[in-house]
Amino acid sequence: MAKVKPVRVGIDAANLRGGGGVTHLVELLRHAQPVKYGIEQVVLWGGEKTLSVIDEQHWLIKRNPLMLDKGLLYRTLWQRFYLSQAARDEGCDVLFVPGGSYAGNFHPVVTMSQNLLPFDMRELQRYGWTLFALKLLLLRMTQSRSFQEADGVIFLTQYAQDVVVNVTGQLGAQASIIPHGLNQRFNSEPKLQQAMADYDDAHPYHVLYVSIIDCYKHQWHVVEAVAKLRKQGFPVILDLVGPAYPPALQQLSVMIAREDPERQWVHYHGAIEFDALHHYYMQADLGLFASSCENMPNILLETMAAGLPIACSKRGPMPEMLGEAGIYFDPEQPEDIARALRELMDAPSLRAKLAHASYTLSQQYSWQRCADETFDFIAAVMQENRGTIDV
């Protein structure tokens, strides 16, 4: 009797170097039970640093080609010219590319959309004639081709799928919406909401905005909005947390110098280690999210899970995630941001109601669900394309 070859999935992590992409991969493989879907082994290609943070699993095989520990050009060349053959040599039945870009000739392949900025021309234009804008345009082209030629594509939200398809045209591939999960350490039952009369300069009201300082995050508009509230007598402190894109940080610094030159109420904490981030949510009174371009904002999900009342941008997929559990504003209008914040601060009962509602919504997001749905989809694409499996 011929020996049956074990079903193998290959995963390309060549260009996953940090941030949300690595977090997704770590949690996905930590919670995966591939055998439930007829998958016996998973082969993972990546750089040494990325592979080192992936948990060991009896079904997981890690591969570290030398080119993946070099620069972007080497990694791109490896993906283009070596990945497909590596998948064949490993006996893979399907290839998963969570980074989104794939230019090889192995099939079936499942790819994933995790960066919406290249597909939103209005947002892309904020960067002007810069190398970063050129990089985004190139990514738009390479990922459009990848999605068009893939056998399966994973999107994080319905909004993201709609934006991408508006650029690429209708995809021939199977598609599935599979949101990211949530790290349980962000979970915190909503606090008892106090009246604003209970706050003063010695015990101020803390508004927290966690996000990279960037052109489409509008932190300078948030500073201007909070300045308006302080002039109306609200004892509000604004805490900003996140790394920075230098030109956007300069724009923010100009606004802070104008509105709070002594740095009395705007506190920019810079980049914070992900493992320590939940402490900032725990110390906040209200969460704010003012982005105008997102695929699926994990930060908004973390804020929901932290049990905070939320003032949120009405753009992108934010209403899809937050539903009726927040107060929305136009992120480019400081007056509207201030209006949303004041609406919440003036009504502790509304804050309590919305904080409980958003906390409840957040509980549907789990990495176990993400892992199950992802491997189920990969297996379905593999089954659908058995007649075209590259061997």
Same CATH topology for 8-181+367-388 and 184-362? Answer: yes
Cα(345)–Cα(193) distance, integer angstroms: 10
* Mean pLDDT, range 352-356, rounded to an integer: 97
* Mean pLDDT, range 141-157, rounded to an integer: 95
- The β-bridge partners of 203 are 200
Cα(288)–Cα(33) distance, integer angstroms: 36
Instruction: State residue 389's pLDDT score.
Output: 42
- Listed in sequence order, the residues at least 6 apart from 64 whose beta carbon sits closer than 8 Å to its beta carbon are 45, 46, 47, 48, 51
The answer to whether the CB of 57 falls within 8 A of the CB of 80 is no
Instruction: Place 91 in a pLDDT band, splitting at 50, 70 and 90.
Output: very high
Residue 246: how many CB atoms within 10 A of its CB?
8
Given a cut of 70, is residue 111 above it in pLDDT?
A: yes
Instruction: State residue 385's pLDDT score.
Output: 84
Measured in degrees and rounded to the nearest 5, phi and psi for residue 110 equal -115, 125
Instruction: Place 384 in a pLDDT band, splitting at 50, 70 and 90.
Output: confident
* Mean pLDDT, range 28-40, rounded to an integer: 95
* Mean pLDDT, range 188-214, rounded to an integer: 95
- The β-bridge partners of 240 are 209, 268
Instruction: State residue 381's pLDDT score.
Output: 95
% helix / strand / coil in the chain, to the nearest 5? 50, 15, 35
End-to-end CA distance of the chain: 21
Given a cut of 50, is residue 149 above it in pLDDT?
A: yes
Given a cut of 70, is residue 209 above it in pLDDT?
A: yes
* Mean pLDDT, range 289-297, rounded to an integer: 95
The 10s digit of each residue's pLDDT in 65-81 is: 999 999 989 999 999 99
Tell me the CB-side half-sphere exposure of residue 379, using CA atoms within 13 A.
18
Whether omega for the bond prior to residue 108 falls within 30 degrees of 0, making it cis, is yes
Given a cut of 90, is residue 390 above it in pLDDT?
A: no
Report the share of the chain in percent with pLDDT over 70.
Answer: 97
* Mean pLDDT, range 164-193, rounded to an integer: 94
The 10s digit of each residue's pLDDT in 48-69 is: 999 999 999 999 999 999 999 9
Instruction: Place 20 in a pLDDT band, splitting at 50, 70 and 90.
Output: confident
Model pTM score: 0.91
Instruction: State residue 335's pLDDT score.
Output: 98
Q: Which has the minimum average pLDDT: 1-15, 129-143, 176-190?
A: 1-15
* Mean pLDDT, range 293-306, rounded to an integer: 95
Q: What's domain 8-181+367-388's superfamily in CATH?
A: Glycogen Phosphorylase B; (3.40.50.2000)
Three-state DSSP class for 105?
Answer: coil
Cα(5)–Cα(78) distance, integer angstroms: 27
Given a cut of 90, is residue 2 above it in pLDDT?
A: no
Instruction: Place 5 in a pLDDT band, splitting at 50, 70 and 90.
Output: low
- Residue 139: burial class (beta carbons within 10 Å; 0-12, 13-18, 19+): middle
Structural domain boundaries in the chain: 8-181+367-388, 184-362
- The β-bridge partners of 236 are 205
Cα(199)–Cα(111) distance, integer angstroms: 49
Given a cut of 90, is residue 6 above it in pLDDT?
A: no
* Mean pLDDT, range 192-217, rounded to an integer: 96
* Mean pLDDT, range 357-385, rounded to an integer: 95
| Average predicted confidence (pLDDT) for the chain | 94
- Specify the CATH number for 184-362; select among 3.40.50.2000, 3.30.300.130, 3.40.50.300, 3.40.50.960: 3.40.50.2000
- The β-bridge partners of 46 are 13
Three-state DSSP class for 155?
Answer: strand
Cα(9)–Cα(33) distance, integer angstroms: 13
* Mean pLDDT, range 177-198, rounded to an integer: 94
Instruction: Place 96 in a pLDDT band, splitting at 50, 70 and 90.
Output: very high
Three-state DSSP class for 30?
Answer: helix
